[in-house]
Structures are given as structure tokens and as C-alpha cells.
């Protein structure tokens, strides 16, 4: 179902590509962030987000470590420890705790078989290949998209 774009929130591939294209057309109105990039440099992306929202951090914030504190509060490790994310259910009775795995870029290799990876690579090529949208944290998938 995922490869077909079927998701509880609607057609995943169409949504992602739509937002990507709008971010290119209207960069002052649509900010497109990638998990892999945010994971690599959260502070930089917090600054980018604040500036995009027309609420940039001031020098005093930077000197006092405010941005780093926000990054820590919003980190996967902090979010995973919150009681609300350990109990209860989410959409379609999915347990909330299942929304949090390791937060490791490329961890998909621990969940997808080679056959599943091939199928995903094909779907990514079909859906995103000519868009310029690439992903760095998934070597095989990223390489596949970037080749096309």
C-alpha cells in the first residue's frame, strides 16, 4: 500500500512532491525540510525555520545556547521519553510507542528486505526521479534517485 502511495493521510508521494515543487516556486511561503538534513544539523535548521517564520534568533540567543537548548528539547531522545509518546494509540490504533524507533538515518535497512528495497527504489524513481528531490540518508535509495 505504501508503494502505491496509500497512507492514512492521503497519497504520500503526491503530497511530498507537491510540497517540494511549491517550495521551489514559492520559497518565501513554503519551507521544505528533510529529516536527514535536520538530523545532521538541527541548530542550522532551527535558525532556518525561525528566519522563515520571520522570528529569527538574536545574537544573545546564540551566545546563551538557546538554539541548542531548543534542539535538545525537540530531539528524538527527549520526545521518545515523554510519557504521552510511550502510551496510548495513534491513527488506526497504532501504539504511540511504535512511532519511535532509533531515529537513525538509513535505519530502513533493518526493516526492508532487498526485494522491498528494490521495489521502493523503483517507486522513488518513478515518482521523484525527474523532480530534483533527493535523499542523503538512504544510500541505495538516494543513489538510485540521483542517477535518474
**For residue range 52-104, what is the model confidence (pLDDT) as tens digits?**
999 999 999 999 999 999 999 998 889 888 888 888 787 777 787 777 777 77
Instruction: Indicate the average pLDDT of the chain.
Output: 83
Residue 76 and residue 91: Cα distance in Å, rounded? 20
Going by C-alpha positions, the residue among 106, 116, 130, 137 that lies closest to residue 147 is: 130
Residue 36 and residue 54: Cα distance in Å, rounded? 24
pLDDT of residue 145: 39
Say which residue, 48 or 96, is predicted with more confidence. Answer: 48
Q: How confident is the model at residue 146 (pLDDT cuts 50, 70, 90)?
A: very low
Q: Where are the domains of the chain?
A: 1-32+105-135, 34-103
pLDDT of residue 136: 64
Mean pLDDT over 112-116 rounds to 88
Contact 65, 73 (CB under 8 A): no
Going by C-alpha positions, the residue among 138, 134, 37, 137 that lies closest to residue 147 is: 134
Residue 31 has pLDDT above 90, yes or no: yes
Mean pLDDT over 105-126 rounds to 84
Task: Enter the pTM of the model.
Answer: 0.75
Beta-carbon contacts of 31 under 8 Å, excluding residues fewer than 6 positions away, are 23, 48, 49, 52
Amino acid at each position: 500500500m505504501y508503494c502505491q502511495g496509500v497512507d492514512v493521510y492521503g497519497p504520500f508521494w503526491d503530497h511530498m512532491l507537491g510540497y517540494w515543487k511549491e517550495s521551489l516556486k514559492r520559497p518565501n511561503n513554503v519551507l521544505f525540510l528533510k529529516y536527514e538534513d535536520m538530523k545532521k544539523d538541527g541548530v542550522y535548521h532551527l535558525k532556518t525555520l525561525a528566519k522563515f517564520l520571520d522570528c529569527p534568533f538574536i545574537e544573545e540567543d546564540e551566545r546563551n545556547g538557546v538554539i541548542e537548548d531548543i534542539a535538545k528539547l525537540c530531539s528524538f531522545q527527549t520526545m521518545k521519553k515523554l510519557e504521552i509518546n510511550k502510551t496510548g494509540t495513534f491513527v488506526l490504533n497504532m501504539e504511540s510507542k511504535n512511532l519511535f524507533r532509533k531515529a537513525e538515518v538509513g535505519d530502513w535497512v533493518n526493516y526492508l528486505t532487498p526485494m522491498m528495497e528494490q521495489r521502493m527504489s523503483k517507486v522513488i524513481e518513478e515518482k521523484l526521479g525527474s523532480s530534483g528531490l533527493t535523499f542523503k540518508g538512504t544510500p541505495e535509495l538516494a543513489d538510485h534517485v540521483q542517477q535518474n
